[in-house]
Amino acid sequence: MTLNVSSSKVEVAKNFANYFVEICKSKPVVHIALSGGSTPKIVFDELAANHKTAIDWAKVHLYWGDERCVWPYDDESNYKMTYNHLISKIDIPELNIHRIKGENGPRYEAEHYSQFLNIVLPKTNGIPTFDLVILGMGDDGHTASIFPNQIELWNSENYCEVAEHPVSGQKRITITGQLINNAETVAFLVTGESKTERVYEILNNKDLATMYPASLVVPTKGNLEWFLDEAAAAKVTSAQS
Ligand code: 6PG
């Protein structure tokens, strides 16, 4: 596991964007699962503004680690956020965009996306393998759309599951632990002081941490990168200094 601590959210975005570019250069074709959330949004802005020509987007296939069960033009849609901040600004083939269809029935789409990933992704250990899974982490320690009150979804035998936001009740489709931990690399993008305690508990293996889905991210291949700002890392760096 590697900690990449930057001074601010914008610096996290710049550092991760450089890392993203290197991942995209590393192989003839790369399969990347994106995340929703505020930090990925500024990463997409950074990629669109300063790296759009540094990447051969024809070799990059974009997927989502989770999606809200809404239409793609809904402001709640992770796809819409990605389209507005990145996809609409880069020269990427439409066939390389593999959105979760939030407008479909949740159970149908969870099954459909599971089957799709099983067909199109390369496999290691007999499991579909992303080159990179980008994750955020909620204040409650959720990641993708696996929330603490539904942590059993992490160990589902299915590659995708139907989740439900614990407050709004919004249905979501999420990839599950076996896909996340089978990725070549997992990158957490976590910023802000609201994440300080969770980050500290998880990175220092505190007893409470096991109740947080984010603590279950332990990639089999060992490549786990945390991209944090100083606010989110405040207790970790002091604990490790
Ligand atoms: C989503 C995201 C979600 C997000 C966290 C962190 O669909 O909302 O996938 O898991 O990553 O809620 O969000 P922030 O980065 O905005 O704190």
- For residue 150, pLDDT over 90 is answered with yes
**Residue (of 79, 73, 95, 1) closest to 44 by Cα position:** 79
Q: What is the CA radius of gyration of the chain?
A: 17
Share of the chain above pLDDT 90, in %: 95
Amino acid at 69: C
User: Atom of ligand 1 at shortest distance to CA of 142?
Assistant: 10
What is the arithmetic mean of pLDDT over 110-138?
98
CB 120 within 8 A of CB 98: yes
Question: If 0-12 CB within 10 Å is exposed, 13-18 middle and 19+ buried, where does residue 158 land?
Answer: middle
CA angle 210, 213, 217 (to 5 degrees): 90
User: Which CATH code of 3.40.50.1360, 1.10.340.30, 3.90.1150.10, 1.20.58.220 fits the domain covering 2-240?
Assistant: 3.40.50.1360
CB 217 within 8 A of CB 186: yes
Instruction: List pLDDT tens digits, range 180-225.
Output: 999 999 999 999 999 999 999 999 988 888 999 999 999 999 899 9
DSSP tag of 152: G
User: Atom of ligand 1 at shortest distance to CA of 78?
Assistant: 7
Confidence of residue 237 (pLDDT cuts 50, 70, 90): low
Mean model confidence pLDDT for the chain: 96
Q: Do the strands 160-164 and 171-175 form a parallel or antiparallel pair, or are they unpaired?
A: antiparallel
- 156 in contact with ligand 1, CB cutoff 6 A: no
CA angle 201, 205, 207 (to 5 degrees): 80
Q: Distance (Å, rounded) from C-alpha 129 to C-alpha 133?
A: 9
Domains of the chain, residue spans: 2-240
Phi, psi (degrees; rounded to nearest 5) at 205: 50, 40
> Hey, which bits of the chain come out as E strands?
2-6, 30-34, 60-64, 66-68, 123-124, 127-128, 132-135, 160-164, 171-175, 185-190, 224-229
What is the arithmetic mean of pLDDT over 45-52?
97
User: Atom of ligand 1 at shortest distance to CA of 189?
Assistant: 15
- 185 in contact with ligand 1, CB cutoff 6 A: no
Q: Is 68 left (phi over 0), alpha (psi -120 to 50) or beta?
A: beta
Q: 127 CA to middle of ligand 1, Å?
A: 25
Q: What is the pLDDT of residue 238?
A: 56
Confidence of residue 241 (pLDDT cuts 50, 70, 90): very low
What is the arithmetic mean of pLDDT over 115-128?
97
pTM confidence score: 0.96
Q: What is the pLDDT of residue 222?
A: 80
**Is 126 in a helix, a strand, or coil?**
coil
Mutation test of ligand 1: which of 9, 12, 34, 35 has the most ligand atoms closer than 8 Å to its C-beta? 35
Q: 220 CA to middle of ligand 1, Å?
A: 23
Q: What is the pLDDT of residue 207?
A: 86
User: Atom of ligand 1 at shortest distance to CA of 192?
Assistant: 17
- 82 in contact with ligand 1, CB cutoff 6 A: no
- 213 in contact with ligand 1, CB cutoff 6 A: no
Mutation test of ligand 1: which of 68, 143, 164 has the most ligand atoms closer than 8 Å to its C-beta? 143
User: Atom of ligand 1 at shortest distance to CA of 190?
Assistant: 15
